[in-house]
Amino acid sequence: MSAQKSASRTKPVSAIGAFVGFVGFSALAGLLVTIGVTPAIAVAGVTTTSTIGVFESLPEYIEIGDLPQRNELYAYQGGKSVHFATVYDQNRQELKYDQISDQLKNAAIDGEDKRFYDHGGVDLTSLVRAGVGSVAGGLGDSGGGSTLTMQLVRNIKMNQALDLPTKEEQQKAYAEATEQTIPRKLEEMKLAIGLAKKYTHKEILTGYLNIAYFGDQTYGVQAAAQHYYNKNATDLTPAEAASLIAIVQYPEARNLSNPSKYEANVARRNVILKSMYAQEHLTKEQFDQAIASNPKDYVKLTAPSQGCRASVGDGSQFFCDYAVKVVKEMSQLGSSQKERDAAWRNGGYQIQTTLDIGLNAQQKQILNTYDNKAEARIALGATLNSVEVGTGRILTMAQNKDYDQSLKSAPTSTSLNYAVDEKYGSSKGFQTGSTFKAFTLLDWVKAGHGLNETVNGTARTVSPWNICGQTDYTQFKVSNDSPGENGNYSVIGATAGSINGAFASMAQKLDLCDIKTMAENFGVHRADGTELRKNPSFILGTNEVAPLTMAAAYAGIANNGVFCKPIAIEQITNDEGKKLGGQTKDCKQAVDPSVAQTAVYAMKRTITSGTARGAQTYDGTQMFAKTGTTDEAEQIWLVGSSTRVATSYWQGNTDGKKLNLRHFSNGVNGTYAGVRADVWRQAQTPVNEAYPAGAFTDPSSTSIRGNSIQVPDVSGKSAEDARATLAGAGLNYVDGGAQPGGGQPGSVSSTSPAAGSYLSRGSSVTVYTSDGSQATVPDLPGKSLQDARAELGDAGFSNVSVIDEYAKGDDSTRCKVAAVAPAPGTATSKDTAVTVKIYGTKDGKAPKDCK
């Protein structure tokens, strides 16, 4: 609501209106004497019973109360608390009486209310003069004989209007507080009388100077002095003091924000200076010097550096906006949202946040380099968020776009905070891709499965599923990210390679509701506030989640399974210096430590040999991570952690389009998607320096193995014997049919998974039997030709020949086998032609007497 309204003056223009104004004020003057609420000053007037009744029905008291002041936000820089933002509803800094320049006090009294110390809130002499003045055409600059006390009443009511819950209520109350009508004037007078009874003249004058509006969105003399003169209200010259007081009657026309308004200001300033001189508050020399001064010589317009947009530290603006929204929800400011909103508007709070402003700036610069805010081909967003392990303290909230809450942001700016929930940043979150697999992995280990268990990683249509104890036959077509990703994988290998098919196989052995609960235990929720969806595709990260949420979840995994809700506010201190506390540390054991340690053990492989290769910092800090890529690579993630700090890196389309980030160069060193590991490494490197981390606790071999079963070796056994052996081990026999092979027809030639692999109890093993059509070429080199023929015959080969080409030999090797084709150990059809080469003479000639 524009404060310009406080300067409006509605002037009655008709003769009847002027007469009513005169009669009304005269009647009021007589009334005040009659009821004895002002000093006994003889004023002629008319009183009536009805007028007394109207007056007595009005409220008698109003509180000066707390005035809207600035709220100061603090972050950390190098471990020390530093101021980084000033946020206020009204640009105001409240002062005590002794902190206000005497020149200002004198200017206010001499210019606005000469008899301030002699009346009890209403000056009847001025009141009658105003009534007479109204006959001449209106209420005039006096506003109807308003005293400083009456002006204070009006300003209090204007501020009270701004505390109302709706815009409509605010506007209505504001208009009522400023309208120039007899009933409003009556109320203002009675409340001024009440103020004068309750407060001292010093308190009223201080309240007035702190509450008055000085134009250009500036309230109170301290903020005005800083804004217009770049100095404190304690140190003003007579000219500066008079220029400030000159503003209050017409703040938009007389403020000092523009030289075009200087003339109007000086005209009123000089009237005030003359009054100060007349009241002997200025010497002749001071008066002459002040009158001769030009505002251009003492005005040093200083833009108020307030609001999150002006916060100190590159990229701190989005965190500032988030922190303010969080504070306004906290019970320290009041038990209801209405009370909290009013308390924040009143201000005066010092807020210590968790932000590490230096780390945040470094991450902002990295995003500026690798995720171009001016990218025009796609609507590219990117964030880096770091959360402290064990506390949930939000250390960074960097974003590639610049912060701008205006309706028309530049393409390089946005009002959306991509890092947080819709409630706090108006962003609806993003599909997390395979970073969500961490929760399937955790539930897998919790259910007793091992990391070395073998699962099917082939892309395929998968069904059925177990959902909340019920069998669901939804068919989910699972595809893998890269060609050639098929067949069996160990779980630890599937985690490193992020094999979708393998995680679908894992999820089939679990309950999807348990996976959902596991994610929720680590604080994972949809950014729009709705419940996580638990259809089969959700295991691959189809829920839209905020990047900060994922960073906090991985911090919980790193913390031996203890999840701590993210917090931004450490301490709130009110304007009296009382510490009210901050967000309560809220941690819970989301999963058994051994389960978390086992999952971390697997995800460390992602950095060393998996999809996050390149993310390892050069300092050697132990870390784990998981990458995430949506189906069309329009959202790209890497979330990881040391034992001290977890960091999430997200980049993606912000307009809902499916433009593949693998297809767009970042203009630096590759595609946007292709450099995620490098970007994450650069972001985590200074984090590790500031928060040195130790080694993770490795799980026991029992935890790694889980309750898995090793596939027994049944090769060479009959199918029935193999079935019995597998059943005894707790595994299911699946007939894979006969395949070309050696040995006895019907004997087991191989299994899938192979012997020695680990499986969960009840898993299926496919058994392949031999049709007996193949034989294995025996190891013949060095044997006599006669023995070679015999062994080949025994193996089942009937088409054997000795070639007429000889290897160079000597007396010890002559006539012995030099080579055989196919090579020894080759399994091939028994009809295959086998050729034998023998040693001859030293010249490679045919030997004699070979049998």
Q: Using CA atoms, how far apart are residues 575 and 243, in angstroms rounded to an integer?
A: 29
Query: Do 744 and 788 sit in the same domain of this protein?
Result: no
SS3 768: strand
Looking at residue 65, its pLDDT comes to 63
- With b meaning 16 or more CB within 10 Å and e meaning fewer, what string describes 602-614? bbbbbbeebbbee
Looking at residue 46, its pLDDT comes to 31
Q: Could you report how far apart the first and last alpha carbons of the chain are, in Å?
A: 115
Q: Which two tokens stand for residue 559?
A: 């913390």
Asked if residue 572 lies in contact with residue 580, where contact means CB atoms within 8 angstroms, the answer is: yes
| pLDDT above 90: residue 84 | yes
Name the pLDDT band for 57 (thresholds 50, 70, 90). Answer: very low
Asked if residue 719 lies in contact with residue 745, where contact means CB atoms within 8 angstroms, the answer is: no
Looking at residue 293, its pLDDT comes to 97
Asked if residue 191 lies in contact with residue 61, where contact means CB atoms within 8 angstroms, the answer is: yes
Q: How many other C-beta atoms lie within 10 A of the C-beta of residue 412?
A: 13
Tell me the torsion sign for CA atoms 658, 663, 666, 669: positive
Q: Using CA atoms, how far apart are residues 300 and 322, in angstroms rounded to an integer?
A: 33
Name the one residue in this structure whose structure tokens are 């985590």: 684
Looking at residue 848, its pLDDT comes to 84
What burial class does residue 483 get, using C-beta atoms within 10 Å of its C-beta: 0-12 exposed, 13-18 middle, 19+ buried? exposed
| pLDDT above 90: residue 62 | no
SS3 191: helix
Q: Using CA atoms, how far apart are residues 34 and 28, in angstroms rounded to an integer?
A: 10
Q: Which two tokens stand for residue 703?
A: 């935890």
SS3 488: strand
- Going across the sheet that includes 71-77, the strands are 80-87, 71-77, 350-356, 569-573, 579-581
Distance of CA 779 to CAs 288, 782, 824, 832, Å?
121, 9, 5, 16
What would the pLDDT profile of 233-253 be if each residue is shown by its tens digit?
999 999 999 999 999 989 999
What would the pLDDT profile of 311-332 be if each residue is shown by its tens digit?
999 999 999 999 999 999 999 9
Query: Do 124 and 24 sit in the same domain of this protein?
Result: yes
SS3 305: coil
Residue 754: inside a domain, yes or no? yes
Looking at residue 187, its pLDDT comes to 84
DSSP 119: S
| pLDDT above 70: residue 359 | yes
Higher pLDDT: 7 or 564? It is: 564
What would the pLDDT profile of 697-713 be if each residue is shown by its tens digit?
999 999 999 999 999 99
Residue 575: inside a domain, yes or no? no
Name the pLDDT band for 93 (thresholds 50, 70, 90). Answer: confident
Asked if residue 191 lies in contact with residue 153, where contact means CB atoms within 8 angstroms, the answer is: yes
Q: Using CA atoms, how far apart are residues 280 and 285, in angstroms rounded to an integer?
A: 12
| pLDDT above 80: residue 756 | yes
Residue 428: inside a domain, yes or no? no
| pLDDT above 90: residue 59 | no
* pTM higher than 0.85: no
What would the pLDDT profile of 670-689 be if each residue is shown by its tens digit?
999 999 999 999 999 999 99
What would the pLDDT profile of 713-753 be if each residue is shown by its tens digit?
999 999 999 999 999 999 999 999 999 988 889 999 999 99
Query: Do 15 and 133 sit in the same domain of this protein?
Result: yes
Decide which of 262, 281, 298 is a domain's last residue.
Answer: 298
Query: Do 806 and 750 sit in the same domain of this protein?
Result: no
What would the pLDDT profile of 608-658 be if each residue is shown by its tens digit?
999 999 999 999 999 999 999 999 999 999 999 999 999 999 999 999 999
Q: Which two tokens stand for residue 604?
A: 């460390």
Q: Which two tokens stand for residue 554?
A: 């991985």
User: Could you tell me where the DSSP H helices lie in 498-579?
Assistant: 500-508, 512-521, 547-558
SS3 546: coil
Looking only at the bridges linking them, the beta strands covering 579-581 and 569-573 are antiparallel
What would the pLDDT profile of 570-614 be if each residue is shown by its tens digit?
999 999 999 999 999 999 999 999 999 999 999 999 999 999 999
Find, among 64, 137, 731, 55, the residue nearest to 453 by Cα: 731
Looking at residue 181, its pLDDT comes to 80
What would the pLDDT profile of 217-232 be if each residue is shown by its tens digit?
788 899 899 999 999 9
Query: Do 179 and 266 sit in the same domain of this protein?
Result: yes
| pLDDT above 60: residue 438 | yes
Decide which of 731, 753, 772 is a domain's last residue.
Answer: 772
Residue 644: inside a domain, yes or no? no
Name the pLDDT band for 307 (thresholds 50, 70, 90). Answer: confident
Q: Using CA atoms, how far apart are residues 525 and 516, in angstroms rounded to an integer?
A: 10
Residue 153: inside a domain, yes or no? yes
Residue 325: inside a domain, yes or no? no
How far is residue 361 CA from its own chain's centroid? 15
Q: Using CA atoms, how far apart are residues 217 and 225, in angstroms rounded to an integer?
A: 13
CATH number of the domain within which 764 lies = 3.30.10.20
Residue 612: inside a domain, yes or no? no
Mean residue pLDDT across the chain: 88
Looking at residue 839, its pLDDT comes to 94
What would the pLDDT profile of 782-834 be if each residue is shown by its tens digit?
999 999 999 999 999 999 999 989 999 998 898 999 999 999 999 899 999 99
Query: Do 830 and 766 sit in the same domain of this protein?
Result: no
Name the pLDDT band for 447 (thresholds 50, 70, 90). Answer: very high
DSSP string, 782-796: TSBHHHHHHHHHHHT
User: Long-range contacts for 165-168 (Cβ within 8 Å, ≥24 apart)?
Assistant: 165/338
Q: Which two tokens stand for residue 767?
A: 């058994």
Q: Using CA atoms, how far apart are residues 226 and 211, in angstroms rounded to an integer?
A: 15
Looking at residue 7, its pLDDT comes to 33
SS3 34: helix
Distance of CA 16 to CAs 24, 45, 134, 450, Å?
12, 19, 11, 95
CATH number of the domain within which 261 lies = 1.10.3810.10
Q: Which two tokens stand for residue 650?
A: 């997200």
Q: How many other C-beta atoms lie within 10 A of the C-beta of residue 271?
A: 15
Query: Do 232 and 283 sit in the same domain of this protein?
Result: yes
Axis-axis angle for helices 148-161, 182-198 (nearest 10) = 110
Asked if residue 465 lies in contact with residue 512, where contact means CB atoms within 8 angstroms, the answer is: yes
| pLDDT above 60: residue 4 | no
In the chain, what percentage of residues exceed pLDDT 70? Answer: 88
Asked if residue 425 lies in contact with residue 553, where contact means CB atoms within 8 angstroms, the answer is: no
Name the one residue in this structure whose structure tokens are 């977890």: 646
Query: Do 212 and 115 sit in the same domain of this protein?
Result: yes
Tally the domains of the chain: 3
Name the pLDDT band for 376 (thresholds 50, 70, 90). Answer: very high
SS3 140: coil
User: Could you tell me where the DSSP H helices lie in 402-524?
Assistant: 422-425, 437-446, 491-497, 500-508, 512-521
Question: Is the bond into 566 cis (omega within 30 degrees of 0)?
Answer: no
Residue range(s) defining the domain that contains residue 745 = 708-772
Asked if residue 248 lies in contact with residue 109, where contact means CB atoms within 8 angstroms, the answer is: no
Decide which of 747, 772, 797 is a domain's last residue.
Answer: 772
Asked if residue 493 lies in contact with residue 429, where contact means CB atoms within 8 angstroms, the answer is: no
Amino acid making up residue 769: T
Query: Do 718 and 799 sit in the same domain of this protein?
Result: no
Query: Do 752 and 792 sit in the same domain of this protein?
Result: no
Looking only at the bridges linking them, the beta strands covering 758-759 and 709-710 are antiparallel
| pLDDT above 60: residue 382 | yes
Query: Do 724 and 830 sit in the same domain of this protein?
Result: no
User: Long-range contacts for 301-304 (Cβ within 8 Å, ≥24 apart)?
Assistant: 301/227, 301/228, 301/256, 301/257, 302/226, 302/227, 302/228, 302/229, 302/230, 303/227, 304/86, 304/91, 304/217, 304/218, 304/223, 304/226, 304/227
Residue 753: inside a domain, yes or no? yes
Query: Do 818 and 740 sit in the same domain of this protein?
Result: no
Residues 6+ apart with CB under 8 A from 243: 228, 256, 265, 266, 269, 295, 298
